[in-house]
Amino acid sequence: MKREDVLMEALPYIQQFHNKTIVIKLGGHAMVDPVVLENAIRDAVLLHYVGIRVVLVHGGGPEISEKMKQMGKESVFVGGLRVTDTETLEIAQMVLVGKINANIVSLIAKCGARGVGLSGSDGNLILARKMELQKVNVGGVQKEVDLGHVGEIEQIDPALLNTLLDTGYIPVIAPIAIDRQGGNLNINADTAAGDIAIALKAFKLINMTDVDGVMDKGRTKVYRKLTVREAIDLQKSGAIGEGMIPKVQSVMKAVENGVGYAHIINGNTEHNLVLELFTHDGVGTMISLS
Ligand SMILES: Nc1ncnc2c1ncn2[C@@H]1O[C@H](COP(=O)(O)OP(=O)(O)O)[C@@H](O)[C@H]1O
Ligand SMILES: CC(=O)N[C@@H](CCC(=O)OP(=O)(O)O)C(=O)O
């Protein structure tokens, strides 16, 4: 394809997305390589300058696990959620708010835009309550597990985000919530991104991870398109494993609650974000209502 054709292919999309809100979730596994991360941020800044209201929600699971390991703590996940005792919550806050969030804001500045780092406590953005006990199957026996300081989102207040977007900032959100007693809770970043997309009535939710999309049980093929029904069937068949569980759940919830389109794409492949948005074929898996 000629260079001018590539640019012209983007035009209808640029027109369609102008002034629309797009929530991008940057997964921890797509941020391991600093060069890959910087490229993703540069893409996000490009979207900002073509008139898209860009909101970034980031994870950082692998870095939290690494820090826990350094401190002699083992990471335990139940249904894709980290069991979070008091010390783990402190580590998660340190890594997510203190390190990753601040780094993304700096990269946005380096790429020529203005980012504002937030956690769910800022402006009561993510109000949550402690998650109820989770049922798990241990050797055929049903057990109830307390996940500790893990939150279930009660309410998203998008007021601060809208103010920032209206004034030309790119909000960058760490998945730490506030509860009614002023305490903090650890939230899965996929769930946070999905609920934020719903509250902002986003046009698109794009979840960037380390695989090319949702795959079959044998991990031999990537589904390019899944309806909510098909995604539920895939879940029931056991094809969706840990890590992918909260992603699929959050994108299904998003499209069921007014978000136009939801995508799970590979954030480790350079410029996948712009390819998804500005080319006919797109990339990754698109999840839609029907
Ligand atoms: N059906 C599936 N299709 C693709 N990936 C899957 C599937 N089931 C489980 N996974 C796993 O989910 C992982 C992505 O989740 P996760 O590690 O939590 O990423 P992130 O850090 O981006 O949130 C993939 O690397 C893959 O190992
Ligand atoms: C409750 C819970 O599991 N919180 C996550 C928050 C970070 C996250 O979700 O990071 P990724 O997007 O990289 O997986 C955690 O502690 O790992």
Maximal C-alpha separation, the chain: 62
Bin 201: left if φ > 0, else alpha if -120 < ψ < 50, else beta: left
The total domain count for the chain is 1
Is residue 227 situated within a structural domain?
yes
Is residue 288 situated within a structural domain?
no
Domain that holds residue 144: 3-282
User: Is the pLDDT assigned to residue 174 strictly greater than 90?
Assistant: yes
Residue 54 sits in a domain whose CATH number is 3.40.1160.10
Is residue 287 situated within a structural domain?
no
Do 51 and 166 meet the contact criterion of CB atoms below 8 Å apart? no
Is residue 243 situated within a structural domain?
yes
Is residue 290 situated within a structural domain?
no
How much is the pTM?
Answer: 0.96
Sheet holding 151-156, edge to edge: 151-156, 126-130, 176-178, 184-186
Is residue 60 situated within a structural domain?
yes
| Alpha carbon distance 35, 149 (integer Å) | 33
> What confidence tens digit (pLDDT) does each residue in 260-274 have?
999 999 999 999 999
Write the CA distances from 243 to 81, 159, 190, 235, integer angstroms: 8, 30, 9, 13
Site to probe by mutation for ligand 2, drawn from 29, 31, 81, 82 as the one with most ligand atoms within 8 Å of Cβ, is 82
Task: List the residue whose alpha carbon is closest to atom 6 of ligand 2.
Answer: 188
Do 177 and 187 meet the contact criterion of CB atoms below 8 Å apart? yes
Site to probe by mutation for ligand 1, drawn from 244, 247, 273 as the one with most ligand atoms within 8 Å of Cβ, is 244
pLDDT of residue 205: 98
> What confidence tens digit (pLDDT) does each residue in 31-44 have?
999 999 999 999 99
Instruction: Return the percentage of the chain with pLDDT > 90, whole number.
Output: 91
Cβ count near 117 (within 10 Å): 21
Is residue 165 situated within a structural domain?
yes
Residue 236 CA to ligand 1 centre (angstroms): 16
Residue 59 CA to ligand 2 centre (angstroms): 5
| Alpha carbon distance 128, 180 (integer Å) | 8
